[in-house]
Amino acid sequence: MTTGNNIETEYLELSSKNGWPLLYQQIRTESAKFGNSFSEAIKPQNKVLNRYRDVSPFDHTRIVLQKGSSDYINANLVKVEKANRQYILTQGPLPHTISHFWLMVWEQNTKAVLMLNKLVEKKQEKCSQYWPKKVGPEYKMIFDDVGLSLEYLEHQDHSYYMKRVLKLVDVESGNSKEVLQFHYTTWPDFGVPNSPVAFLEFLYKVRAEGALQPDVGPAVVHCSAGIGRSGTFCLVDSCLVLIEKYGLNSVDVKEVLLEMRRYRMGLIQTPEQLKFSYQAIIEGIKHLSQPNTSDKENSNSDVVVVNDNDLYESSSEEDEPPPLPPPRLDSLNRVYDDFPVDRPLPTIPNSTSLTDFAYEENDKVNNQSPPLRPLPTVTPGDEGESSEADEVEEEEEDEDEEETNSLTEEKTENNCVTGNISPEAELRHRQRAERKETLAAKVREMKRRQQANEQWTRLKRSLFKPFVIVGIVSALGGGLLAYFYYKS
């Protein structure tokens, strides 16, 4: 038998050789030899009560309902005698088996339900919501076929799991009981939790509530099929109990799992889940070996998981989410070393492309859109090259812009002093106006000459066309005469 203090050695050896698939296959092969029957599960009236057709409860350990139209539910009582542990492992309820689920909880005197899956995973429903959608008596669920009602009393959000308090009532007798639900929300289907530490903290919280004690009914543990994640939880808990009771030299993980598989088929579905079970047990052994930490039910150190990589420890009695980031204004106004609090944000530089949209001050005041410059005229055959007139126009526009800016600056300066324009400014303005008129005259003359050239070109083309036609006709006529001459 593998001793407890060799669990870590066994784990390292299996990991170094990638022996987890082989060990998992050995467990499957040996458990297949048990030959346990499941005749009730495959009866026609019960097939519709199974979520998966290849996951059936063994006949000798199945939970038998005492009330209602059927005594069948896909659930088994799993016992680990040496650890004095009992668990009810079941599938995630279907819409038409929710009442059967709560009848089982009532009849078995269960104190806590452990839910290890989400309702929807990979866009597929893995479990129907079997508790009220909201807190309050107005959202109470009534199960007439089994004579029960269910009310949602309160909940606590612990970041990676939820704790809910539900009230289950027998309508006929009026008797009621509170049922706890621990919902682990970050355990993926066919996968493992993010951290053995977080998983152990969840386990210790369940233990601290007394949900696994022998003086109450067995805890109901479920995922989607009730074998993979559920089996992992029960295996780790049982092995740690055995180590606590009998010491480090008492546990053979493989044998414990095989014993559990005698009660429900297929417990632990993947080699990765088996490997994680070893990791969690080894981590639990380390905690047990630390002074004053053997009783984890009374531990005040909680792990809050917010993503796949980070763990945040707190010393509060209940898990709390990590603090929110500071408000945006606070982070901008905070003093950092040599930077003053009122340091302004850097000035955004002006884009040179914006100069094409310059406009007058009056337009700014009147909120008018700036006038766009006209595109330059390009004649056919001269694409990409500007004409002389266009260059003069651009020069004129540059002069106008420079004049306007200069005059605006002078106006601003003089108005600030006297409120009037100075004679020197007026003289410069008249000179610029004269230059502007001279340039305009040049532009008009150049355009006139350009138009005359274009007219002359069109005239030459119109005169040249008749001569071309006559030449072509003459050539054709001469050719025909020569042809008939030689033909005769």
285 is in an annotated binding site: no
pLDDT surpassing 50 at residue 277 = yes
CATH number listed for the domain at residues 4-314: 3.90.190.10
431 is in an annotated binding site: no
416 labelled catalytic: no
pLDDT surpassing 70 at residue 373 = no
pLDDT surpassing 90 at residue 287 = no
**Alpha helices, H only, 290-387:** 328-333, 361-365
What number is the average pLDDT over the span 77-101? 97
The single residue of 223, 234, 239, 416 carrying the catalytic annotation is 223
What is the pLDDT confidence band of residue 369, given thresholds at 50, 70 and 90?
Answer: very low
What number is the average pLDDT over the span 137-166? 95
What confidence score (pLDDT) does residue 290 get? 67
Across all residues in the chain, what is the average pLDDT? Answer: 77
What number is the average pLDDT over the span 389-407? 52
Q: pTM for the complete prediction?
A: 0.61
pLDDT surpassing 90 at residue 342 = no
pLDDT surpassing 50 at residue 324 = no
What confidence score (pLDDT) does residue 260 get? 98
With a pLDDT cut of 70, the percent of the chain lying above it is 68
127 is in an annotated binding site: no
The Cα-based distances of 419 to 364, 403, 412, 415, 482 in angstroms read 21, 20, 9, 4, 95
Rg (Cα) of the chain, in Å, rounded?
A: 45
What number is the average pLDDT over the span 329-358? 37
Give tens-digit pLDDT for 54-69: 999 999 999 999 998 8
What number is the average pLDDT over the span 95-119? 97
pLDDT surpassing 60 at residue 409 = no
229 is in an annotated binding site: yes
Higher pLDDT, 99 or 361: 99
What confidence score (pLDDT) does residue 94 get? 97
Contact 236, 268 (CB under 8 A): no
**Alpha helices, H only, 209-337:** 229-246, 253-261, 271-289, 328-333
The Cα-based distances of 40 to 51, 102, 266 in angstroms read 15, 20, 18
